[in-house]
C-alpha cells in the first residue's frame, strides 16, 4: 500500500499512540521555533546583502582614491618615498580584532579594526618633500583598510548565514513535509486499527452473549420439556388407576387387611 510507506512501522497500541502524539507535539513546536529562526536569519541575511552592496560601491571609490594618492605621493616624494615610509614605521597603527556575534543561535565571526592612539613617527615623515602627499596617501589607505575589514566582516557573516539559513530551511521543510505528515499518518493508522479492534471485540462479546442466551434458552426448554413429561406421566398413571377402580384416594386406603383374631 502507498499509505503504509509514509508512516512508521509500529504496533497499533494505545501506548504507541500516546508516544506518537507526544512526538507530534514536539515536532510542531520544533517546526515553529525553526520557522522563527529562519525568519530572523532571512531578515539579517537581506540586511547583510544590502550592506555588502553599499560597502563594495564605497570600496571601489576608496581604492581609486588611494591609488591616486599613492601616485601623487610618488610624484612629490620621488623614488625614495618607499624607504622613507619603511624607516619611519616600527609597529602597526591599525589592528584587527576578531570576536563572535550570535544571531538566532548562529555564531558569526566578527572583525573590527582599531587604530592605536598616540603620535607616530609618520607625523614627521616627508618634511623634506612630499610630506603632505604622504600624509594624504596614508589617510586614504587607512580608510581603505577599514573598509576592507568591514567588507570582510560582512562577507564572512553573509556566507556563514547563507549556510545556516540553508540548513534551517532544510530542517523546516523536512519537519513540514516529511516528519509531521509521517507522524500524522501513523496516528491515523493506529486509531483506525484500534477502532477496528474495538469493533471486533464488540462483535465477539455480542456473539458470546448471543450464544449464552441460546444455551440458556435451550436449557430452559429442556427443563420445561422434562417437567411437562413428568406431569404427563403422572396424569397417565392417574387415568389408569381410575380405569381399574382405584382412585387416587384409594392408593392409601384401598388395601385394608382383615382383622386378625388370636
At 47, which CATH number?
A: 1.10.287.3240
Residues 6+ positions from 181 with CB-CB distance below 8 Å: 6
pLDDT at 1: 43
- Report how many domains make up the chain: 1
Mean pLDDT of the chain: 79
**Does 250 fall in a domain?**
no
Lookup result for grid cell 385394608: 256
pLDDT at 241: 58
| 7-32: b (≥16 Cβ within 10 Å) or e | beeeebeeebbeebeebbeebeeebe
pLDDT at 262: 46
**Does 248 fall in a domain?**
no
Tell me what the mean pLDDT of segment 95-109 comes to: 84
- In this predicted structure, the answer to whether residue 5 has a pLDDT above a threshold of 90 is no
User: Are 30 and 24 in contact, with CB atoms under 8 Å apart?
Assistant: no
User: For 6-65, how does the pLDDT look when each residue is reduced to its tens digit (9 = 90+)?
Assistant: 888 888 888 988 999 999 999 999 999 999 999 989 998 899 899 999 888 888 888 888
Structural domain of 150: 14-177
**Does 245 fall in a domain?**
no
Amino acid at each position: 500500500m502507498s499509505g503504509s510507506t509514509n508512516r512508521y512501522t509500529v504496533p497499533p497500541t494505545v501506548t504507541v499512540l500516546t508516544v506518537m502524539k507526544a512526538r507530534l507535539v514536539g515536532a510542531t513546536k520544533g517546526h515553529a521555533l525553526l520557522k522563527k529562526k529562519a525568519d530572523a536569519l532571512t531578515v539579517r541575511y537581506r540586511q547583510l546583502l544590502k550592506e555588502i552592496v553599499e560597502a563594495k560601491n564605497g570600496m571601489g571609490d576608496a581604492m581609486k582614491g588611494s591609488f591616486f594618492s599613492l601616485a601623487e605621493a610618488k610624484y612629490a616624494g620621488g623614488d625614495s618615498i618607499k624607504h622613507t615610509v619603511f624607516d619611519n614605521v616600527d609597529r602597526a597603527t591599525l589592528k584587527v580584532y576578531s570576536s563572535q556575534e550570535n544571531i538566532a543561535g548562529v555564531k558569526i565571526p566578527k572583525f573590527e579594526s582599531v587604530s592605536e592612539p598616540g603620535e607616530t613617527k609618520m607625523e614627521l615623515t616627508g618634511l623634506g618633500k612630499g610630506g603632505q602627499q604622504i600624509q594624504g596617501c596614508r589617510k586614504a589607505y587607512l580608510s581603505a583598510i577599514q573598509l576592507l575589514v568591514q567588507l570582510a566582516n560582512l562577507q564572512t557573516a553573509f556566507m556563514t548565514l547563507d549556510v545556516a539559513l540553508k540548513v534551517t530551511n532544510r530542517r523546516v521543510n523536512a519537519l513540514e513535509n516529511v516528519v509531521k505528515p509521517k507522524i500524522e499518518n501513523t496516528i491515523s493508522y493506529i486509531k483506525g486499527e484500534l477502532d477496528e479492534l474495538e469493533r471486533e471485540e464488540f462483535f465477539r462479546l455480542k456473539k458470546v452473549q448471543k450464544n449464552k442466551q441460546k444455551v440458556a434458552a435451550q436449557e430452559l426448554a429442556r427443563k420445561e420439556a422434562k417437567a411437562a413429561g413428568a406431569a404427563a406421566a403422572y396424569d397417565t398413571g392417574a387415568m389408569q388407576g381410575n380405569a381399574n377402580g382405584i382412585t387416587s384416594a384409594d392408593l392409601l386406603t384401598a388395601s385394608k387387611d382383615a382383622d386378625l383374631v388370636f
